[in-house]
Structures are given as C-alpha cells and as structure tokens.
C-alpha cells in the first residue's frame, strides 16, 4: 500500500539533511570523494554540506514564496539533490535521463495500488517499444486513455511516469495505456510522433487483448507529451483514422516563441523548466529547420478545427503558460469543445509531484471527469 503523504513528509524531512547531494553522489560514484576517517570529521562535513545547501536554496526563496506551500517543500528537497549540477541546457541526454530516473521517488510518491498492471512490447517505426496498461478494476472492453509522457522529447519513460499513470487510471476510472517512444536527439522529429501515432493505432486495432474498447479511447500528455498528444489528434483527423474521443493537454509546448511574457517572467530556472532548457529541447527535437514549419511539430501552426474535445491546463508559474493560453484561445475560436484551467501556485511538472500536493488531487479529478465524459458512450 502506498505511504500516506504525511508519512512521506515525515520520513523525508528527517532524512533530508543527511543525504548526499546529486553532485556528491556523482563524485562518489566516480571515486572522487573520500570518506571521513572519524565521527568528528563526518559531523563537520555534514554541517558544511547543510550550510552550503541552505545557501544554494536561499537563491530561490523569493521566487518560490508565491507557490503552494507543499510544492515549496518538495522543491526544496529536489533542488537540494540537484545542487552543484549544471543547468539542464548544459547536460548531455544521458545525464538528463540518469537524473530524471534518480528523481523517480519524488515523481511517483503517493501513487495508488491498482488491481492489474500489464506490460507489452509492440512494433513502432523506430523498432520495438514498451506499453503498459493500468487497470483500475473496470470490466473489459473498457474506455481507455493513452498516456504520452513528458521530458522535452529527450527523457522520460514508463517508470518515471508510473505514478501519474496510476493516478489517472484511478481518478478517471478508465484503463490507462502508457506509451514509450523514441527519444531525441538520437531520434528527432518525426520519429517520436511516428511512434506515438503507431502506438495509438495499435491500441485502436489490437488493444482488445488488453481490454481496450477501441470506440472509447482518449489521450493525455504533459509538456512534450502534450505536444505529441495534440499532434496525434491532428494527424488522425487528417489521416482518416478513428479519432480520439478527447485529449487532456497539460502545460504543453506548442510554439517556438521563447520571448513571451511568461517566458520572461518564469524562465530563469527557479521553476524546473527554464527558457534556455526549452530552447535546448526544441533544438534536440527539431534540428531540421524545415520541421519548424510543420504543424505536427509545432501545433500552434495547425488548423485546430474539427479536433475532439480538449481539456487544456497550464501552471501559473510556468514559462509555457502563454503557450497554453494561446492554444486555448485558438481552439475556442475554431469551435472546439474546450475546458481550460490554470493551476494556481504551481510550476511546470506539477502533475508528477501530485503525491506531495493536496491541491493537485482535485485538479487531476477534473481531468478524470473530462475523460469519463468524452468516453462515456461508444459510437
């Protein structure tokens, strides 16, 4: 059974001061840190590390002050682990993926147990990939939401999104099919999108083996996954394939505009995602300049008419806030059935930290209500 939020908070608070930073852990793994020879030295080193960490965290206190208090708490824990590392824009893809995996405890905290979880390997254009079905206990054939993970098209996998997949399955009452796809920069556009389209088509044609009702399939994605989810909807609309019943798009990257008001206000690095990081992820995903004019890569360029119902969310302190607001305005003007919400006091990536934040539960419940509504009836 998953630990309660209070138990997690108490455990982490008690242990946090004694844990090494990410910098310390990396150096130790490389043999660059020698252990103290006596207890007094160990105690002195711990005091220095704590002091250094507090000085580092103090750099962000003003920026964090307006945030949800529980979010501030977990940000302090995570940023303490990241102290001493270069910003994401300067890290290699391998380093980003390693750090992302090491943060899985924070990303998956509080995830509920489910009656049945099953993994399959399927063929996609890039080769073989994993999909994982999360069943909250609903009889087959069941309405299903396909989950496309975030991570700047560069990182993320089934395991780093296990917590959110469990949450969305339980809170929506739908089965959730979580999908892995080829990652940039090794596999730039259109490879990640092609894999996602293939996985959705597999769910529609072969998913009955996992209890999926092909008539009642929706899609959800966050950040880069929201970009991909919207692009999947556009591609299916234009390609004559059975369309998604709806799409929940969480704080996505939809345009190449890096000088929006929200980028200027929140892109300095205090809120997980910075403007320099966003530029780096776009460069990894779209190294070909011609692809930057493709509406499947940059959905803000797309014709949004005749899309399925959309639930678009944004975080108040997110450099991508303006992307979501502009997309919602364009979709509404195109006549799309639209729900739009701004998550107050939240930063980019907040849904992955929902196990720590009481306020996120009702917001994910709203996503679940939307998914139930759009998949209620077959057709």
Looking at the annotation, which residues are catalytic? Answer: 223, 318, 348
The tokens describing 183, both together, are: 């990652």
Cα→Cα distances 145→65, 171, 173, 177, 358, Å: 35, 12, 10, 6, 24
Region of 111 (left: φ > 0; alpha: ψ -120 to 50; beta: rest) is: beta
Exposed / middle / buried, residue 119 (Cβ in 10 Å: 0-12, 13-18, 19+): exposed
SS (H, E, C) the chain: CCCCHHHHHHHHHHHHCCCCCHHHHHHHHCCCCCCCCCHHHHHHHHHHHHHHHHHHHHCCHHHHCCCCHHHHHHHHHHHHHHCCCCCHHHCCHHHHHHHHHHCHHHHHCCCCCCCEEEEEEEEECCEEEEEEEEECCCCCCEEEEEEECCCCCCCCCCCCCHHHHHHHHHHHCCEEEEECCCCCCCCCCCHHHHHHHHHHHHHHHHHHHHCEEEEEEEEEEECHHHHHHHHHHHHHHHHCCCCCCCEEEECCCCCCCCCCHHHHHHCCCCCCCCHHHHHHHHHHHCCCHHHHHCCCCCHHHCCCCCCCCEEEEEEEECCCHHHHHHHHHHHHHCCCCEEEEEEEEEECCHHHHHHHCCCHHHHHHHHHHHHHHHCCCCC
């Amino acid at each position: 059974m998953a630990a309660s939020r209070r138990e997690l908070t108490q455990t982490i608070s008690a242990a946090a001061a004694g844990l090494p930073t990410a910098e310390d852990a990396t150096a130790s793994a490389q043999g660059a840190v020698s252990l103290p020879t006596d207890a007094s030295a160990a105690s002195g080193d711990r005091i220095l590390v704590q002091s250094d960490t507090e000085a580092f965290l103090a750099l962000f206190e003003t920026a964090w002050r307006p945030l949800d208090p529980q979010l501030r708490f977990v940000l302090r824990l995570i940023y303490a682990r990241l102290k001493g590392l270069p910003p994401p824009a300067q890290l290699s893809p391998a380093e980003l993926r390693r750090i992302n995996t090491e943060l899985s405890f924070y990303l998956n905290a509080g995830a509920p147990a489910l009656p049945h979880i099953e993994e399959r390997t399927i063929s996609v254009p890039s080769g073989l990939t994993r999909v994982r079905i999360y069943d909250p206990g609903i009889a087959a054939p069941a309405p299903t939401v396909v989950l496309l993970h975030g991570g700047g098209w560069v990182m993320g996998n089934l395991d780093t999104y296990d917590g959110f997949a469990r949450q969305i399955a339980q809170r929506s009452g739908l089965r959730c099919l979580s999908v892995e796809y080829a990652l940039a920069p090794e596999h730039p556009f259109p490879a990640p999108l092609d894999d996602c389209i293939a996985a959705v088509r597999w769910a529609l044609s072969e998913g009955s083996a996992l209890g999926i009702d092909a008539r009642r399939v929706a899609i959800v994605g966050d950040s880069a996954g929201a970009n991909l989810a919207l692009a999947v909807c556009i591609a299916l609309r234009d390609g004559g394939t059975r369309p998604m019943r709806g799409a929940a798009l969480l704080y996505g990257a939809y345009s190449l505009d890096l000088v929006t008001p929200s980028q200027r206000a929140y892109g300095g690095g205090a809120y997980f995602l910075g403007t320099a990081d966003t530029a780096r992820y776009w460069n990894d995903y779209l190294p070909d300049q011609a692809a930057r004019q493709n509406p499947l890569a940059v959905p803000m360029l797309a014709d949004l008419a005749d899309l399925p119902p959309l639930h678009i969310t944004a975080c108040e302190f997110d450099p991508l806030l303006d992307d979501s607001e502009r997309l919602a305005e364009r979709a509404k003007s195109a006549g799309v059935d639209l729900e739009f919400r701004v998550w107050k006091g939240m930063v980019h990536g907040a849904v992955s930290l929902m196990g720590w934040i009481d306020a996120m539960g009702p917001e994910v419940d709203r996503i679940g209500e939307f998914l139930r509504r759009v998949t209620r009836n077959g057709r």
